[in-house]
Chains A and B, each alone.
Chain A
Amino acid sequence: KAGVTQTPRYLIKTRGQQVTLSCSPISGHRSVSWYQQTPGQGLQFLFEYFSETQRNKGNFPGRFSGRQFSNSRSEMNVSTLELGDSALYLCASSLGQQTDTQYFGPGTRLTVL
């Protein structure tokens, strides 16, 4: 069974630009969660989608948005990039219950210059 895939793996952008990251979950998984990892803050929850609906959102500004498609693939968009958005962005997929294991992808490393 293929694991969670994320594209691109690395990205360099400049301040003010926008970026879209993609996550393909494990086949059969309907939940996709997104996390931001920075050295100082650790892993922080961005949002979670299940069957194309956002069920939970973390404490991030409105510049961070996401969506999920009918095939469970998910995208995350960050508009008007700031230097502080430089981070590793991880997505994780699961069957969708709170006690289901979340399987993480390899991440997208975003650098904002």
Chain B
Amino acid sequence: ILNVEQSPQSLHVQEGDSTNFTCSFPSSNFYALHWYRWETAKSPEALFVMTLNGDEKKKGRISATLNTKEGYSYLYIKGSQPEDSATYLCAFIEGSNYKLTFGKGTLLTVNP
């Protein structure tokens, strides 16, 4: 059974703060890592798909890095806004299969 861990479980920050959280996954047989944002009462929304060691992706104020050798990815949010409040999920794809194994997410709350 694959283990995808996310930390912290939850985070409260003030508007304007920058923050980051971690996704850990098995370093063997890596194929891809997906990041999603899930706002309350909405569907999960894709942020990034990362495949190469050392990958860095950016979308507005959100960016992510990937280290496949040590099995972790960081998600960074610069200058958090209340609308960034959501659960951030990472999902790992192993080898030749087609299933996403999700972590339990980091719940981010940005206070105005």
A68 to chain B, nearest CB (A): 13
Q: How far is the CB of A23 from chain B (nearest CB, A)?
A: 12
Instruction: Answer whether A45 and B100 are a contact pair too, CB < 8 Å, given A98-B32, A99-B49, A102-B34.
Output: yes
- B32 and A56 within 8 A (CB): no
Q: Which of B82-111 contact A (CB under 8 A)?
A: 89, 91, 93, 97-105
Interface residues on A, range: 20 to 34
| A45, B99: Cα distance in complex, Å | 7
Asked if A55 lies at the interface with its beta carbon under 8 angstroms from chain B, I say yes
B43 within 8 A of A: yes
Residues of A within 8 A of B91 (CB): 43
Contact B98 A106 (CB under 8 A): no
- B51 touches A (CB below 8 Å): yes
**B1 pairs with A98, CB closer than 8 A:** no
Known A-B contacts A90-B44, A106-B43; the reply to A42 vs B98 at CB < 8 A is no
| B residues lining the A interface (CB < 8 Å) | 1, 31-32, 34, 42-46, 49, 51, 89, 91, 93, 97-105
Q: List 24 A-B contacts (CB under 8 A).
A: A3-B43, A4-B43, A41-B104, A42-B103, A42-B104, A43-B100, A45-B99, A45-B101, A45-B102, A56-B98, A58-B99, A59-B1, A92-B44, A98-B31, A98-B98, A99-B51, A101-B34, A102-B34, A102-B46, A102-B100, A103-B46, A104-B45, A106-B42, A107-B43
